[in-house]
A = this chain, B = another copy of it.
């Protein structure tokens, strides 16, 4: 007897992801799965993005964490419906965790659902959650060798965001080199360069979301 556990786990995950995706499509909810290393600025980016979008779109968040609900509290304080998934040490979100949270939302009234994944540049990349887009943040102080060193993550994402560009004067990071590395690994990937803290470049990312939402509601 041979047990191929890895394959089974992913098969189960893909079934749940397909279920989630159908629900999201039926309700014309745009779903964006945001991944990064710990501390790359996912929550700050969400806060600043939501402040711009909430004027005309209804946004909700699924917040993944190993422990604490600090990030969920930050988003709730903006008046945004936020459901916390606490993985109790687990290293990624999977599609069944997402499926279990969905009864908490009125999807028919939600335009955009952000999923903030666990801070981990490795494991989350393997799990389809049923999202429309996978986005990965790379923060400038991490250094731009992260793209070739964590290729699975950058190869599987639709959009890479280089965050914390306000720190460019103080660290060794070449945006050009990051662009080349990303082009080599994932030529179809888009790239946005911004600082969630200062707001520089935020508009390009927000416009990308608006366009994605427009396409999502057209079909």
**A residues adjacent to B (C-beta < 8 A):** 3, 5, 37-40, 65-68, 70-71, 89, 91, 118-123, 139, 141-143, 145-146, 148-152, 164, 166-167, 170-171
Contact = CB atoms under 8 A, between A and B. Distances in A.
Given A91-B122, A123-B122, A171-B167, A67 B37 contact: no
Given A120-B120, A122-B123, A123-B123, A67 B170 contact: no
Contacts of A68: 145, 148-149
A121 B119 contact: yes
Contact of A38 (B65, B118, B142, B166): B142
A120 B118 contact: no
A67 B148 contact: yes
14 contacts: A37-B39, A37-B119, A37-B142, A39-B141, A65-B149, A67-B148, A67-B151, A68-B145, A68-B148, A89-B152, A91-B123, A120-B123, A167-B167, A170-B170
B38 A149 contact: yes
A151 B66 contact: yes
A5 B166 CA distance: 45
Contacts of A121: 37-38, 119-120
A150 B66 contact: yes
Contacts of A139: 39, 141
Nearest to A140: B141
